[in-house]
Structure 1
Amino acid sequence: MKSNTIILVVDDEEQNFDVIEILLFKEGYTLHFAQNCDIALDFIEKNKVDAVLLDVMMPEVNGIEVCRRIRANRQLGYIPIVMVTALNTKEDLAQCLEAGADDFISKPVSGVELRARVNSMLRIKHQYDALQNSLQLREDMGNMIFHDFSNHLVSILLGCEILRFGKNESRKEKHLQLMENSAKQLQLLTDSLLIMAKLESDKMVIEPEEVILGEIIESVLEDFNFLAESRKIQIINDVAPLTKKVYIDKQVIRRVLDNLVSNAIKFSPANSLVKLCVEYPENIQARIKVIDQGKGVSDNLKQRIFDKFEIGQVVKGISQTGLGLAFCKLAINAHQGQIFIQDNQPQGTIFTIEL
Structure 2
Amino acid sequence: MTTPTMPNLWVVDDEENNLTVVELLLTQANYELSYFNSAMPMLEAIQHNLPDLILLDVMMPGIDGIELCRRLKQDARTKHVPIIMVTALSSREDLARCLDAGADDFISKPLNGLELRARVKSLLRIKRQYDELQTLVHLRDEMLNLRVDLSNMVIHDLRNPLANILLSCQIMQMRGMDDRNMKKIQQIEYSGHRLESMIDSLLVTAKLESGKLALQPDTVNLHQLIAQVMQEFRAIAEQQTVNLVQELTPAPLYVQGDATLLRRVLDNLLSNALKFAPAESEVTLAVLSHDQHVILQVRDQGKGVQPELREQIFSKFEIGQHLPQVKQMGLGLAFCKMVVEAHEGQIQVEDNQPKGCVFTIRLPRDHDDMTNQADPAAEML
In which range does the TM-score fall when normalised by the shorter chain? 0.5 to 0.7
> Among 331, 335, 345, which residue is 1:337 paired with?
345
Q: Deviations over 1:104-128 (max 9, x none)?
A: xxxxxxxxxxxxxxxxxxxxxxxxx
Deviations along 1:311-336, whole A, 9 cap, x unmatched?
01111221211100000110011011
Instruction: Determine the C-alpha separation between the residues in 2 that align with 1:167 and 1:338.
Output: 46
Q: 1:294 aligns with which of 302, 316, 321?
A: 302
C-alpha offsets along residues 120-141 of structure 1, whole Å, 9 cap, x if unaligned? xxxxxxxxxxxxxxxxxx9xxx
- Unmatched 5+ stretches in structure 1: 1-137
Equivalent residue letter for 1:187? E
> Does 2:244 align with 1:235?
yes
CA distance in 2, matches of 1:156, 1:324: 23
Instruction: Give the secondary-structure state (helix, strand or coil) at the position aligned to 2:219.
Output: strand
Distance 1:352 1:164 in 2: 37
SS at match of 2:302: coil
Please name the residue that 1:175 is paired with.
184
- 1:264 equivalenced with 2:246 (yes/no): no
2:256 is paired with a residue whose SS is: strand
Aligned: 1:200 with 2:209: yes
Deviation at 1:167, TM superposition (A): 7.0
Cα 1:238/1:164, change in 2 over 3 Å: closer
Q: Distance in 2 between matches of 1:167 and 1:343?
A: 44
The number of equivalent residue pairs is 212
Contact 1:280 1:287 in 2 (8 A): yes
CA apart distance, 1:304: 1.2
Structure 1 residues 211 and 303: CA distance shift in structure 2, 3 A: closer
Match of 1:216 in 2: 225
Cα deviation, 1:250-295, whole Å, max 9, x if unaligned, reads 01111110000000000111110000111112222x1011000000
Relative to structure 1, is the Cα distance of residues 216 and 162 closer, same or farther in structure 2, using a 3 angstrom cutoff? closer
Q: Contact 1:166–1:172 (CA<8 Å) still a contact in 2?
A: no
Give the distance between the partners of 2:320 and 2:173, measured in 1 at CA. 41
Aligned identity (percent) is 44
Correspondence list, 1:77-96, <5 A: none
1:8-54: CA deviation from partner (whole Å, max 9, x where unpaired): xxxxxxxxxxxxxxxxxxxxxxxxxxxxxxxxxxxxxxxxxxxxxxx
- Name the amino acid aligned to 2:325: G
What are the superposed Cα offsets for residues 72-116 of structure 1, whole Å, 9 maximum, x if unpaired?
xxxxxxxxxxxxxxxxxxxxxxxxxxxxxxxxxxxxxxxxxxxxx
Which of the two has higher C-alpha Rg? Answer: 2
Q: Which amino acid aligns with 2:359?
A: F
1:179 Cα shift? 3.1
Distance 2:206 2:234 in 1: 29
Equivalent AA in structure 2 for residue 313 of structure 1: Q
Aligned counterparts of 2:359 and 2:193: Cα–Cα separation in 1: 22
Matched, 1:277 2:286: yes
Retained in 1: the 8 A contact 2:276–2:302? yes
Structure 1 contact 248–335 (Cα < 8 Å) conserved = yes
Displacement of 1:171: 3.3
Distance 2:273 2:173 in 1: 34
1:250 partner amino acid:
A
SS across alignment from 1:280: strand
Q: For the residues of structure 1 that align with 2:350 and 2:250, how far apart are their CA atoms? A: 25
Maintained 8 Å contact 1:209/1:250: yes
- Aligned residue number for residue 47 of structure 2: none
Cα 1:161–1:222, aligned 2, differ >3 Å: closer, same or farther?
Answer: closer
Q: Gaps (5+ residues) in structure 2?
A: 1-146, 364-381
Which stretch shows the higher mean deviation, 288-297 or 241-250? 241-250
Distance 2:268 2:174 in 1: 34
Q: Following TM superposition, by how much is the alpha carbon of 1:165 offset from its aligned partner in structure 2, in angstroms?
A: 12
Listed one character per residue, the Cα deviations across residues 144-175 of structure 1 (whole Å, up to 9, x for unaligned) are x99xx9xx97x958x75993999743235323
Matches within 5 A, 1:303-342: 303-342=311-350
Q: Distance in 2 between matches of 1:304 and 1:321?
A: 14
Which residue of the partner structure matches residue 190 of structure 1? 199
4+ residue segments displaced more than 3 Å: 159-169
Query: 2:346 & 2:174 partners in 1: Cα distance?
Result: 50
TM-score by length of 2: 0.50
Distance 1:244 1:195 in 2: 26
The question of whether the paired residues in 2 share the 8 Å contact of 1:297 and 1:349 is answered with yes
**Residue aligned with 1:316, SS:** coil
Which stretch shows the higher mean deviation, 296-305 or 167-176? 167-176
What is the distance in 1 between the residues matched to 2:331 and 2:207? 14
Structure 1 residues 240-251: aligned runs within 5 Å: 240-241=249-250, 243-251=252-260
Contact conserved, 1:265 with 1:274, CA < 8 A, in 2? yes
SS at match of 1:185: helix
Q: Structure 1 residues 268, 326: CA separation in 2 closer, same or farther (over 3 Å shift)?
A: same
3-state SS of the aligned residue for 1:312?
A: coil
**Structural RMSD (CA):** 3.5
State the shift of 1:194 in Å.
1.1
| Cα 1:166–1:291 shift into 2, 3 Å | same
Q: 1:234 to 1:308 in 2, by over 3 A?
A: same
